Structure 1
Amino acid sequence: MLAANCSVQSRAVEATVATLLALECGLGLLGNSVALWTFAFRLKVWKPYAVYLLNLVTADLLIAVCLPFHAAFYLGRKTWRLGPASCRSLLFLRVLGRGVGVAFLTAVAVDRYFRVVHPRLKVNLLSPRAAWGVSGCVWLLLLGLTHQSLLVPAAACPGLEPGAELSFSAAWQEALIFAQVVLPFGLILFCNVRVIRTLRRRLRDPGGQPKLQRARALVTVVVVLFAACFLPSLLARVLVAVFRAAGGCRALGVMVHVSDVSNSLAYLQSVLNPAVYCFSNPAFRHSYRKVFNTLRGRGREAEAPGDIKDSYS
């Protein structure tokens, strides 16, 4: 724990984090609501990857709903006034949404890996109904892994604050956060590198270059978004733990502020995931373009065809 005279609060940092969380909430609700509408009314052909993307949208919306309460926590000088039960519930939903989102982002990468690199394997014959079964198992697994969030000490609410007492529940959550970043990132990177290498061999003729460019763009978006959103937060948590063990208020205070900002930026993943949907299916590009043009006052565009092909198909 931090020493009693070791204050790490900063009004500027807390206001900045609260503003970031509020912006992420608004943009996340807008972007993922458009994606949800596209799934419901525009997507005509369903494949396993589409099922995984729909679950990713659900997880992102769950995070977006939690963010206003997290912003209020920072506006209140890191004080939670709604009671320990609501605090633990909020932490549980945030951890669950983040874990499920990372899991389905990884599932999309693995699905594309098998379809492109190993197209003859029977796993590629997986039906959308079976993909729904896999999705249900993912939710149940993450529910089991994150239930410890409901048992964290009241001092750690509504998140795992660096100065909080490190109970078993808090230590479990720290280990889970690391596992949810390091392992999926490695798997996503491996799958996407193999996909690009395979497509480069197959699409050597000029007619296949546009398809290869779309694939490269999607791979770049997934890897860059994952790295930019999660790796700084992970590094900051490590440095906070190191400086807390070493002692010294000044260095620890700086790292706590860095950790607060980087942790808030981690939720940008739920805001920027629509870029993944746009590269995966032209139906999403049309929906977002239509909303953007409406906000700019340019009126309605012509309807795009409803039967849309996957970018890797």
Structure 2
Amino acid sequence: MASADHNCTNIDQLMKRYYLPVAYGIIFIVGLVGNVTSISIYMTKLRPWKSSSIIMVNLALTDLLYVLSMPFLIHYYSNGESWTLGDFMCRFVRFGFHFNLYGSILFLTCLAIFRYVVVSKPLRAAQVQRKLCGIIACSVVWIVAVAEIAPMLTMISLDERDNKTVCLDFASTIPFDLRWYVWLLTALGFLLPLVVVFMCYIGIVKQLANGPHTNSPCRVRARRVTVLILVVFVACFLPYHILRVLRIKTRHSEDVTCMVEHVVHAAYIISRPLAGLNTFFNLVLYTLSGDTFRRAFLSIFYRECWLTKARSLVHLAIISKRDSGIPAG
């Protein structure tokens, strides 16, 4: 590796210092408010739950656990990559990102499968919408997601660089002899779910094109939800998985110039918050999943609006009463 290349650039270090804190800050604010609101709506206004509601709540919980780790990363990158929280918190924060990533992928895949069954197998629609199906699906997702990324806990660790303790991300610390794990994780954790979601979308499109009642709200909603899930896979998850492989490859290649390594690293840094933006798309997904959630969400603002109007009317009445008591002349 030509680390002494005089034409080398430190663009990746600039991205860490200025881009990551801002990007993570936005994800934290929007994700925290949005997911707390969504979970509150599901818990208080949308009972009893169907299977899709249970999956949505678990997806929101996964996103919430992820955004709660953002302040640690914001502080870390804002202070020039100086980690002061110990080895456990380093592993926990890095683990949280990947748990959200692969947990979200699996939850979204479950939603796509359930929507496909509702559209293409109407006789089984009531069966997959039962609460028990949602509980079983979510239990399987949690177990599989933990199993997929548990090996990372042994690979992520602290390091000493330039008299500072740094908490390296997964792609920057994995040994070269364990790169097979990255390929396996990419194939089973991302590519296989992507194929499943794509096949569900094709099945839904064919069913809507050929079957009766193609414009029914349930079927149109199923198509929109599946399209959104595909967008999340392609826009958020695909760049990260491609650039993670390139990052690992350039780290361990002897014939890669310093410039190429830093540029690939910078692109990989950009893709990490981009993968986290799936939390934004998930918030849109909740509103597309059904009219019930939209009405419950809008009722919050309508209630606040009526409370504001009521306070204004009471305030005006008090002022009018006070003014009417003032003697004329």
Shorter-chain TM-score tier: 0.7 to 0.9
* Residues 16-27 of structure 1: pairs in structure 2 closer than 5 A: 16-27=19-30
Match for residue 223 of structure 1? Answer: 230
Q: Which range moves more in the overlay, 33-42 or 231-240?
A: 231-240
Aligned with residue 256 of structure 1, among 254, 265, 278: 265
Amino acid at match of 2:32: L
Deviates more, 1:261-270 or 1:140-149: 140-149
Larger mean Cα displacement after TM superposition, 267-276 or 233-242 = 233-242
Worse-superposed segment, 225-234 or 215-224: 215-224
The alpha carbon displacement at 1:218 in A equals 2.2
- Asked whether the 8 Å contact 1:63–1:270 carries over to 2, the reply is no
Letter in 2 for 1:24: I
Which consecutive unaligned segments of at least 5 residues does structure 1 have? 302-313
Residue 282 of structure 2 corresponds to residue 279 of structure 1: no
TM-score (normalizing by structure 1): 0.82
- Structure 2 vs 1, CA of residues 291 and 75 (structure 1 numbering), >3 Å: closer, same or farther? farther
* Contact persistence 1:106–1:187 (CA under 8 A): yes
Moved more, 279-288 or 87-96: 279-288
Counterpart for residue 64 of structure 1: 67
Match of 1:190, as an amino acid?
M
Assess if the C-alpha contact under 8 Å between 1:60 and 1:97 holds in 2: yes
C-alpha change, 1:213 and 1:141, in structure 2 (3 Å) is: closer
Contact 1:114 1:123 in 2 (8 A): no
Judged with a 3 Å threshold, the aligned counterparts in structure 2 of structure 1 residues 2 and 292 are, in CA distance, closer, same or farther, namely: farther
Could you list the per-position Cα deviations for residues 209-234 of structure 1 after superposition, in whole angstroms to 9, with x for gaps in the alignment? 65554343322222112211111112
Instruction: Say whether the 8 Å CA contact 1:117–1:194 is kept in structure 2.
Output: yes
The yes-or-no answer on 1:154 pairing with 2:158 is: yes
Q: In structure 1, what residue type is equivalent to 2:247? A: V
SS state at 1:266 partner: helix
2:9 and 2:76 map into 1 onto residues whose CA distance is 17
Provide structure 2 residue ranges, at least 5 long, that are not aligned to the other structure. Answer: 160-165, 309-329
- In our comparison, the structure showing a higher alpha carbon Rg is 2
Q: CA deviation at 1:299?
A: 5.2
Q: CA deviation at 1:23?
A: 0.5
1:38 lines up with 2:41 in the alignment: yes
> Residue 198 of structure 1 aligns to which amino acid in structure 2?
Q
DSSP 3-state at the match of 2:170: coil
Whether contact under 8 Å (2:91, 2:153) holds in the other structure is yes
User: How far off is 1:3 after superposition?
Assistant: 4.5
TM-score by length of 2: 0.78
> How many corresponding residue pairs?
296
